[in-house]
Structure 1
Amino acid sequence: MDEGTTAVSLRKRRAAITLLMTMVLLGVFPLDVLLPSFPALAEHFRTTPADIAFSISLFAVGISLSQLLIGPLSDTLGRKGLLLLGMAVSIIGALGCLMSTEYAWFLLFRLVQAIGCGCFVLTQALVQDLFEGKERDRLRILMATASGVFISISPLAGTLLQQAMDWPGSFVVFIALACAVFLKACVFLENLRPANTAPHGIIRSYQRVYRDPVFLGYWLIAAIAFACHFSFIVISPLIFLERLQLSPYAFSLTLLLYGLAYIIGGIVARFLAGRMAPNTQIFTGLSLIFLSGLVMLALAVLLGLSILTVLVPMIICTAGTTIARPIATSRAMEVFPDNAGTSASAGSTLVFIFGGLISALINLNGANLQTSLALTFLLLSTLAITLNALISRRQRMLVSG
């Protein structure tokens, strides 16, 4: 009996991990796989690559606003129905993008796609529901590492799709993957909802979590770490394709090297987990982001803009992001375990709004993207290190008190 129960449990865990990893893979298509298609999209919609980059920032803001409703509703209605609804809406948005002939319609349907993709926030809630303790931390590190691997190969995949199917290729594959997630969720998921969750109004739920300084502080740290990575992703086509005149294929190979940072960061994060206090691990990752800003600024002044002067500091930055962000997310999600959906939405909204706004601001200073990126890393990492120190101090005071 025990062996049968264990086998069922193992199958469920494997099915859950497969679903979560497919959602992580799906998450790179609306953003990263599209990057090599910037010139083709700009030509098709008779606009500029900077306008296409703006659509990426708009997508991030749209997905964050969608999450505001999805998370709290999932705490009362369950995860499954909202995940299926989100996948359906995202498919409709992607189909609309495929059929658009005007830039304004493309932006509208990208927003629809983003609203549907807001259901990706449920990955964090599902991790909280289905796994416990250190297994949660390990899975979040695995997801962050896998995301980096997918991101690193996505420009190459995007280039191949661009060559084979032109810019619609990434949308076609997105639709196929979204259908796969829809079917997998139909078969595997029960309508998961924390058993002891009392119904709260959406506003009251957010008031509850946002009033907690530890919860808010950890999610802001995760948002800052994400914003540093996301800002580079958004402006990388402008740097490599437009300024440095790389071919889409050379651009994709360049980002393959960038993806190594995720693998290195993931290995280091798994090694540090359990061997180092969470706040110390967060500080280590944020310090690497600060170092990357210094290195990028120095290289920009001494050598100017080149592949190496951008890529080397970004490898350092992304290793820091992979070390700091998963552990900050886990600590934040542990504050309100009975409201995992609301907690995930509240945090992910901060993450995507931060990423979207910061990347849009950097994009506005198109004359000197490299220096703007470096200064952003220095400023944001300093803010995050300060937040981490304040959280550590508060926790020590609570223990001593």
Structure 2
Amino acid sequence: MAEGQSAATVKQRRGAVSLLLAMVLLGVFPLDVLLPSFPALAEHFRSTPADITLSISLFAVGIAGSQLLIGPLSDVIGRKGLLLAGITISMLGAVGCTLTTDYVHFLLFRVIQALGCGGFVLSQALIQDLFEGEERDRLRILMVTATGVFISVSPLAGTFLQATLGWQGSFVVFIALAGIVLLKACFFLENTRPAATGALSNIFQPYRRVLCDVDFLSYWLISAFAFACHFSFIVISPLIFMDQLQLSAYDFSLILLVYGGAYIVGGTVATLLGKRISPGHQVISGLCLILLSGLIMLYLSSHFTLSPFTVLVPMLICTAGTTIARPAATSKAMSLFPENAGTSASAGSTVIFICGGLISALISLSPANLQSTLGYSFIILSSVALVLNSRIHSRAKSPGASPSVE
């Protein structure tokens, strides 16, 4: 920030940063915190844990569907009103979840909660609107780091809430946090309109523009593949640590807590690298670390018996690579269409959601050794991402390259 900024402006920026971090927390909170409460939910609704899993799937589908509308709509009518409406809807859905005694109604209220949570996709658009240059890049690193930490800590928080408040506890805490974020958004966001204007009937038109840009898709795929490595581990970690290694739920939560600490270290490294090397080299460095983690994972799975150590060591390296590559790739993608930041964020978030969901599902369904499958996946995903990054730079050096790519 410029040295001559007023104290009020500095305070507003700090408020915006805390708001964005709170949006990141609320984006992951309704999913992972609820996992330890599956048995209690099944008992309450006289169902099975497998049926309760449907609520997670419907929640993800609800978020994916709503963000496709919210992003381009925010480019036309502004961010603040949509964000406030989304938070309010998510709170109403959470209230309904705590009060209902019918399983079908519970699923309906979870979808309503998810539709509101789709508004949190605007965090990337707000970063593009409110910050510039290195400050914008540092904030994206911070948000990626925070996402990993929140996801890793969530199972431990969910275990505590289930033990103290029952399955309703996660919804009650979500309502309280959402209320705080609602107030912060009212105070720290200006009611301004973005640069893009147009008729409501044409709000989906920008999708054709951004999705037809090869570099835009390539950067988001790089970010998605890096995220998929982390997300796949989170999805199958209960199978490795609790089913195969027979660890208790509490011990499993502590392991994920250590894994979350790796995000902090990775975020610190990414911040230091951001001051010394270009975003393009940050992407390459991060992807090479993910590739290295895959090779180490395969070596350990072949020469040592399965243990928390043989799984965590390569995952810590993978996490460092993820926190370095993802923010740089995201910043490059978002910089291509700054006038359509909402649409760009929604399109990119959908790409990440689809890749993370499909890849993690394929890994979890693999009949082979899960540790080896993870290793092969890291190698394949990082290699493909490196090829995509190389093609981007090849196009940028070609005589007909557009200035925005360089």
Distance 2:46 2:307 in 1: 28
Deviations along 1:62-82, one digit per CA (max 9) or x if unpaired, are 322211100000001110111
State the match for 1:147 in structure 2. 147
Distance 1:355 1:103 in 2: 28
Alignment CA distance shift 1:229-1:102 (3 Å):
farther
Asked if 1:16 corresponds to 2:2, the answer is no
Distance 1:229 1:191 in 2: 36
Distance 1:218 1:9 in 2: 32
After superposition, residues 227-242 of structure 1 pair within 5 angstroms as: 227-242=228-243
After superposition, residues 1-400 of structure 1 pair within 5 angstroms as: 6-42=6-42, 44=44, 55-99=55-99, 101=101, 105-195=105-195, 197-199=197-199, 201-365=202-366, 368-398=369-399
Distance 1:123 1:210 in 2: 20
Alignment CA distance shift 1:94-1:361 (3 Å):
farther
Distance 2:51 2:104 in 1: 11
CA contact (8 A) 1:50 1:238 kept: no
Alignment CA distance shift 1:90-1:368 (3 Å):
farther
- Whichever residue aligns with residue 356 of structure 1, its letter is G
Deviations along 1:346-384, one digit per CA (max 9) or x if unpaired, are 111111122122222333336743333333222222211
Distance 1:42 1:299 in 2: 38
Alignment CA distance shift 1:335-1:16 (3 Å):
same
Q: Secondary structure at the match of 1:31?
A: helix
CA contact (8 A) 1:60 1:353 kept: no
- Whichever residue aligns with residue 373 of structure 1, its letter is L
Distance 1:260 1:337 in 2: 33
With 35-44 and 141-150 compared, the bigger mean Cα shift is at 35-44
Q: TM-score, normalised by structure 2?
A: 0.90
Distance 1:46 1:238 in 2: 25
CA contact (8 A) 2:211 2:217 kept: yes
Deviation at 1:151, TM superposition (A): 3.0
Distance 1:311 1:50 in 2: 28
CA contact (8 A) 1:32 1:233 kept: no
Deviations along 1:81-101, one digit per CA (max 9) or x if unpaired, are 111111122223323333455
CA contact (8 A) 2:196 2:340 kept: no
Q: Secondary structure at the match of 1:30?
A: helix
CA contact (8 A) 1:54 1:360 kept: no
CA contact (8 A) 1:41 1:52 kept: yes
Deviation at 1:186, TM superposition (A): 2.1
Distance 1:87 1:207 in 2: 28
Alignment CA distance shift 1:266-1:204 (3 Å):
same
Deviation at 1:196, TM superposition (A): 5.2
- Return 5+ residue gaps in structure 1 as ranges: none
Alignment CA distance shift 1:282-1:342 (3 Å):
same
Deviation at 1:158, TM superposition (A): 1.8
Deviation at 1:304, TM superposition (A): 4.1
With 71-80 and 288-297 compared, the bigger mean Cα shift is at 288-297
Instruction: Count residues in correspondence.
Output: 400
Alignment CA distance shift 1:307-1:104 (3 Å):
farther
Q: Secondary structure at the match of 1:305?
A: coil
Distance 2:373 2:46 in 1: 28
Deviation at 1:283, TM superposition (A): 1.2
Deviations along 1:42-76, one digit per CA (max 9) or x if unpaired, are 55556665665565455334322211100000001
- Whichever residue aligns with residue 371 of structure 1, its letter is S
Alignment CA distance shift 1:107-1:308 (3 Å):
farther
Distance 2:52 2:64 in 1: 19
CA contact (8 A) 2:72 2:206 kept: yes
Alignment CA distance shift 1:369-1:89 (3 Å):
farther
With 149-158 and 270-279 compared, the bigger mean Cα shift is at 149-158
- Whichever residue aligns with residue 358 of structure 1, its letter is I
Deviations along 1:146-185, one digit per CA (max 9) or x if unpaired, are 2233333322222211211223222211111111111221
Alignment CA distance shift 1:209-1:81 (3 Å):
same
- Superposed CA RMSD in Å reads 2.6
CA contact (8 A) 2:93 2:113 kept: yes
CA contact (8 A) 1:63 1:352 kept: no
Deviation at 1:279, TM superposition (A): 1.7
Alignment CA distance shift 1:3-1:203 (3 Å):
closer
Alignment CA distance shift 1:108-1:36 (3 Å):
same
Distance 1:176 1:94 in 2: 10
